[in-house]
Structure 1
Amino acid sequence: MKYTVYLSGEIHTDWREKIKNAVNEQKLPLEILTPNTDHESSDECGVRILGGEDNNFWKDNKAAKINSIRHMTALQRADIVVVRFGDKYKQWNAAFDAGIAAALGKSLIVEHATDITHPLKEIDAAAMATAENTEQVIEILEYLCRDY
């Protein structure tokens, strides 16, 4: 079976690359989808494409709407959504993606450190699996791809 997997969540570590490398090395039948992980281009795409804004609300609004085209398309296409919560920033966008994935009935895998379990308890409750590290996420994906 081939799955389409959307890797949502924090963009400040190399967790996506670890998963992509494992998928390639093991030739797993997975199509990987990602958001734009270049912070500057993601934040600036609205004003760069549609013109400047004096108010940061409208600048962010333009960027969010353009970026949501990619996010929503990926969420709708995905069979599995992996959402990683990092420890550096509050990732409201990751929580939003997890909620949309749950509402769409997608299989949801959540990854985060144990010290933020309490604030993410509702998201964890909606997940099919909650991993503490990327290696566990990789193992779950490997398991799903095995023929038994």
Structure 2
Amino acid sequence: MGLNVYLSGEIHTDWRDRIIDGAQGLDVTFSGPVTDHAASDDCGVTILGGEQSKYWHDHKGAMLNAIRTRKGIGDADVVVVRFGDKYKQWNAAFDAGLATGLGKSLVVLQPEEHDHALKEVDAAALAVARTPEQVVDILRYVLTGTLPG
């Protein structure tokens, strides 16, 4: 049994790399959003043409990124959504809701100080992890039945 895992959420830390590196040897395929912030922001106007208004500039990019996000979450067995410390990730909350609506297994990765703000998101998750390594342990357990350590 293999797993398709979509990694959603903040793009400013190495959490994705830590999960991917830790899952070496497991039958896991990872996907996620474009994490090059400039490319993600500018994809719409680069592909479809410039916009005078920042709103329409962002809207074009959001629509193209939504194609990738819907495909990735739709194909996923497990969706991991990371809420980081520095920025509010409204898009991550949306992805968690989309994953839940599609009946995907949701794992939330967040610091403890976000527990109150994310209580509804956490209630929809099957696990709330604090570290990327805990996410790897979850994936290993799901795939092999093996506990850490």
TM range (shorter): over 0.9
Q: Cα deviations across residues 94-123 of structure 1 (Å, max 9, x unaligned)?
A: 000000000000000001000011110000
Shift in Å, 1:147 = 5.0
Q: Structure 2, unaligned stretches of length 5 or more?
A: none
- What is the Cα-based RMSD across aligned positions, in Å? 0.9
The number of residues matched between the two structures is 146
**Are 1:16 and 2:23 an aligned pair?**
no
Partner of 2:100: 102
Partner Cα distance (1:80, 1:21) in 2? 17
2:22–2:133 CA contact under 8 A, matched in 1: no
C-alpha separation in 2, matches of 1:16 and 1:65: 23
Deviation at 1:34, TM superposition (A): 1.2
* Secondary structure at 1:12 match in 2: coil
Residue 144 of structure 1 pairs with residue 145 of structure 2: no
Aligned sequence identity (%): 55
* Superposed CA offset, 1:42-94 (max 9, x none): 00111111111111110000000001110000010000000000011000000
In structure 2, the residue matched to 1:37 is 35
TM-score, length of structure 1 as denominator length: 0.96
SS, match of residue 84 in structure 2: coil
Q: What is the CA–CA distance in structure 2 between the aligned matches of 1:113 and 1:22, rounded to whole Å?
A: 19
Aligned partners of 1:52, 1:71: CA distance in 2, in Å?
23
Q: In structure 1, list runs of 5 or more residues that go unmatched.
A: none
Structure 1 segment 41-120 matched on structure 2, within 5 A: 41-120=39-118
Q: Offset of 1:22 from its aligned partner?
A: 1.4
Larger fraction in helix:
1
After superposition, give the CA deviation of every residue in 1:4-37 in whole Å (9 maximum; x if it has no partner).
000000000011111111122xx10111111100
Q: Which 4+ residue blocks in structure 1 deviate beyond 6 angstroms?
A: none
Structure-1 residue corresponding to 2:5: 5
The alpha-carbon deviation at position 143 of structure 1 amounts to: 0.8
